[in-house]
């Protein structure tokens, strides 16, 4: 892999536009190993991307795209503004950019140029969203909208697997659709607390798996395989939307429900028409802030 100038930022990227969830997970592990071995950079891992940003010598990662200089700066700003997201302008990716910088600061002394790059991206993301229209949504809303297109959910039970940030977003969207909320999690207590917010029921993952056959739909956001759901293969299962990365629903179940399954990469391909006004404004902001940051970096040389 070619090396950039020591004063230039670089970005190593693997996104859903280029590789599948399994390949992105492999890239994320390579990034984690490099940082654990003493590499200095900021890792940004989301549902749709596994990326590493830094200065100086780049690690040798397999199957990634390489951006350098102005291209790396512009890319991160586009990501933070939601221009590279399935749902343009969605909020989750900005939270993940903030978290990426916060995690890096906890584990290493972050280069001041990287700090400035990420702080600029975060500020641009906030500013872009200040003028966002109501047409912008998020992954959870899109997943539940897909379920509503497959089945009647109002007044019927929907199993939400996962009680983390994305699971909470799914539960909120499910409740907003008028469904009965059943939250399943490895931590049954956490599931119960989340479900209680919507007058629902919280259970552990094995119980949640058993309840899927009687539900109108299933929405999944887990950090690992939902192994217990595999035991339900062969039974009559409802539509399943899995926004986990990598996918948490076992292969045997995905094959069974066939057209009744929505994965994270399917959602990427099925994205709706882009909100033009938001994109035009965000692109202008990205261009301006990219020029400002590149000029600042050149001044340091």
| DSSP letter (8 states) at residue 242 | E
* % of the chain surpassing 70 pLDDT: 92
From residue 52, how far is each of 114, 124, 148, 174, 297 by CA, in Å? 11, 19, 36, 34, 19
Confidence of residue 296 (pLDDT cuts 50, 70, 90): very high
pLDDT of residue 278: 82
**238, 151 in Cβ contact below 8 A?**
yes
Q: Are strands 217-220 and 157-161 parallel, antiparallel or unpaired?
A: parallel
| Region of poorest pLDDT, from 54-58, 135-139, 176-180, 297-301 | 135-139
Confidence of residue 163 (pLDDT cuts 50, 70, 90): very high
**What backbone phi and psi angles, to 5 degrees, belong to 237?**
-110, 150
pLDDT of residue 87: 74
- Enclosing H/E stretch for 49: strand 49-55
What average pLDDT does this structure show over 210-232? 95
| Region of poorest pLDDT, from 23-32, 80-89, 124-133, 276-285 | 124-133
pLDDT of 272 > 60? The answer is no
Of 198, 203, 244, whose CA–CA distance to 221 is shortest? 244
pLDDT of 1 > 50? The answer is no
Confidence of residue 165 (pLDDT cuts 50, 70, 90): confident
pLDDT, one tens digit per residue, over 243-260 is 988 889 999 999 888 789
Domains of the chain: 9-134+277-300 (3.30.460.30), 139-269 (3.40.50.720)
pLDDT of 45 > 60? The answer is yes
Task: Show which residues are catalytic.
Answer: 47
Q: Which residue has the tokens 């379920």?
A: 147
Q: Which residue has the tokens 């047409």?
A: 135
The Cα–Cα gap between 211 and 233 comes to 13
pLDDT of 135 > 50? The answer is no
Confidence of residue 268 (pLDDT cuts 50, 70, 90): low
pLDDT of 134 > 70? The answer is no
What average pLDDT does this structure show over 39-45? 95
The Cα–Cα gap between 170 and 168 comes to 5
pLDDT, one tens digit per residue, over 139-148 is 888 899 999 9
């Amino acid at each position: 892999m070619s090396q950039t100038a020591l004063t230039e930022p670089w970005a190593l990227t693997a996104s859903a536009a280029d590789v599948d969830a399994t390949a992105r997970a492999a890239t994320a592990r390579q990034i984690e190993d490099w940082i654990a071995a003493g590499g200095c950079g900021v890792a940004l891992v989301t549902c749709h991307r596994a990326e590493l940003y830094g200065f100086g010598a780049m690690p040798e990662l397999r199957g990634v795209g390489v951006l350098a200089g102005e291209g790396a700066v512009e890319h991160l700003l586009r990501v933070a503004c939601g221009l590279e997201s399935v749902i343009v302008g969605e909020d989750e990716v900005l939270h993940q950019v903030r978290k990426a910088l916060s995690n890096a600061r906890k584990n290493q002394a972050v280069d001041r140029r990287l700090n400035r790059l990420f702080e600029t991206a975060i500020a641009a993301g906030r500013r872009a969203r200040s003028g966002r229209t109501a047409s912008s949504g998020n992954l959870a809303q899109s997943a539940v909208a897909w379920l509503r297109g497959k089945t009647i959910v109002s007044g019927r039970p929907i199993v939400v697997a996962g009680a983390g940030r994305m699971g909470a977003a799914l539960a909120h969207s499910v409740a907003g659709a008028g469904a009965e909320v059943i939250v399943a999690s490895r931590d049954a207590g956490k599931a119960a607390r989340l479900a209680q917010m919507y007058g629902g029921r919280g259970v552990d993952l094995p119980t949640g798996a058993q309840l899927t056959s009687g539900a109108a739909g299933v929405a999944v956001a887990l950090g690992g395989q939902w192994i217990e759901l595999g035991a339900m293969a062969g039974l009559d299962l409802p539509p399943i939307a899995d926004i986990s990365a990598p996918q948490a629903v076992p292969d045997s179940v995905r094959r069974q429900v066939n057209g009744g399954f929505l994965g994270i990469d399917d959602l990427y391909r099925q994205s709706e028409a882009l909100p033009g006004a938001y994109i035009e404004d965000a692109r202008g902001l990205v261009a301006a802030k990219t020029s400002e940051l590149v000029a600042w970096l050149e001044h340091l040389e």
